[in-house]
Structure 1
Amino acid sequence: MNISQEKTGKLNAVISINLNPEDYQPRVDKAIKEQAKKAKIPGFRPGMVPASHVKRMYGKSILLDEINNLLSDTLNNYLTEEKLEVLGQPLPKVDDKVEYNWDFNDKFEFNYEVGLAPEFDVNFSKEDKLDQYVIKVDDETLASRIKNLRRSYGKMTNPDVSADGDVLYGELAQLSPDGSVFEDGIKLNASVRIEQIQDDKIKASFIGVKKEDVLEFDIQKAFNNDAAKIAGLLKIDEEAAADLKSNFRLTVKNVNRLDESDLDQAFFDKIFGEGTDVTTEEQFKAKITEELESMMVQDADRKLQNDLYNYSLEKIKFELPDEFLKRWLKATNEKLSDEELAGGYDDFAKNLKWTLITNKVVTNNDLKIEYKEVFEQAKRQLDAQFRMYSPQPLAEEQLAQYTVQFLQDKENANRMFEEAKAIKVLDYLKDIITLNKKEITFKEFSELAA
Structure 2
Amino acid sequence: MNISHQKVDDVNANITVELAPEDYNPSVDKAIKEQAKKAKLPGFRPGMVPVGHIRRTYGKAILFDEINRVVNDKISEYIGENKLEVLGQPLPVDSDADANYNWDFKDNFTFNYEIGIAPEFEIPFTAETEFTAYDIKADDETLAERIKNLRRSYGKMTNPEVSEEGDVLYATLKQDKEEGIEKTTSVRTDIIQDAKIKKSLVGLKKDDSVKIDVKKAFKVEDLARILGVTEDEAADLDVTKFKVTVKNINRLEESDLNQEFFDKLFPAGEVTTEEDFTAKVREEVENLFKQNADQKLRNDLYTFGMEKVDVKFPEAFLKKWLKATNPNITDEELEEGFADFLSNLKWTIIENRIVTKNNLEVKYDEVVNLAKERIYAQIKMYNINDEPTDEQLNQFAMQLLQDREQANRLFEEAKALKVFDFLKESIKLNSKEIQYTDFEKLDK
TM range (shorter): 0.7 to 0.9
Structure 2 counterpart of 1:207: 202
Distance 1:417-1:136 versus aligned 2 partners, 3 A rule: same
Structure 1 counterpart of 2:154: 153
Question: How far does residue 210 in structure 1 lie from its aligned partner after superposition?
Answer: 4.2
Distance 1:403-1:281 versus aligned 2 partners, 3 A rule: farther
Question: How far does residue 221 in structure 1 lie from its aligned partner after superposition?
Answer: 2.4
| SS class of match (1:448) | coil
Indicate the larger mover: 106-115 or 37-46.
106-115
CA offsets 1:350-372 (integer angstroms, 9 cap, x no match): 22222211222222222333444
- 1:327 matched to 2:320? The reply is yes
Structure 1 counterpart of 2:3: 3
State the AA in 2 paired with 1:277: E
Distance 1:423-1:416 versus aligned 2 partners, 3 A rule: same
Question: How far does residue 134 in structure 1 lie from its aligned partner after superposition?
Answer: 0.8
Structure 1 counterpart of 2:177: 180
User: What CA RMSD, in Å, does the superposition of the two structures yield over aligned residues?
Assistant: 3.0
Question: 1: distance between equivalents of 2:207 and 2:104?
Answer: 86
Question: 2: distance between equivalents of 1:112 and 1:251?
Answer: 74
Question: How far does residue 280 in structure 1 lie from its aligned partner after superposition?
Answer: 2.2
The runs of 5 or more residues in structure 1 that have no matched partner are: none
Of residues 259, 264, 273, the one that matches 1:270 is: 264
| SS class of match (1:317) | coil
What is the TM-score of this pair, normalised by structure 1? 0.86
Question: How far does residue 107 in structure 1 lie from its aligned partner after superposition?
Answer: 3.8
Structure 2 counterpart of 1:358: 351
| SS class of match (2:7) | strand
- 1:28 matched to 2:18? The reply is no
Structure 1 counterpart of 2:293: 300
Question: 2: distance between equivalents of 1:392 and 1:364?
Answer: 45
Distance 1:432-1:406 versus aligned 2 partners, 3 A rule: same
The answer to whether the 8 Å contact 1:379/1:399 transfers is: no
State the AA in 1 paired with 2:334: L
Question: How far does residue 416 in structure 1 lie from its aligned partner after superposition?
Answer: 3.0
CA offsets 1:179-203 (integer angstroms, 9 cap, x no match): 41566xx765543321111210121
Question: 2: distance between equivalents of 1:75 and 1:245?
Answer: 66
Q: How does 1:334-349 map to 2 (within 5 A)?
A: 334-349=327-342
Indicate the larger mover: 206-215 or 282-291.
206-215
State the AA in 2 paired with 1:118: P
State the AA in 1 paired with 2:290: V
The runs of 5 or more residues in structure 2 that have no matched partner are: none
Distance 1:163-1:129 versus aligned 2 partners, 3 A rule: same
CA offsets 1:70-128 (integer angstroms, 9 cap, x no match): 12211111111221110112222323533544444444333222110111112433432
What is the TM-score of this pair, normalised by structure 2? 0.87
Structure 1 counterpart of 2:168: 167
- 1:291 matched to 2:274? The reply is no
The answer to whether the 8 Å contact 2:124/2:305 transfers is: no
| SS class of match (2:64) | helix
Structure 1 counterpart of 2:46: 46
Q: How does 1:308-327 map to 2 (within 5 A)?
A: 308-327=301-320
Structure 2 counterpart of 1:15: 15
Question: How far does residue 242 in structure 1 lie from its aligned partner after superposition?
Answer: 5.8
Structure 2 counterpart of 1:121: 122
Indicate the larger mover: 147-156 or 191-200.
147-156
| SS class of match (2:5) | strand
Report the number of matched residues. 441
Question: 2: distance between equivalents of 1:124 and 1:303?
Answer: 17
Q: How does 1:84-163 map to 2 (within 5 A)?
A: 84-95=84-95, 97-163=98-164
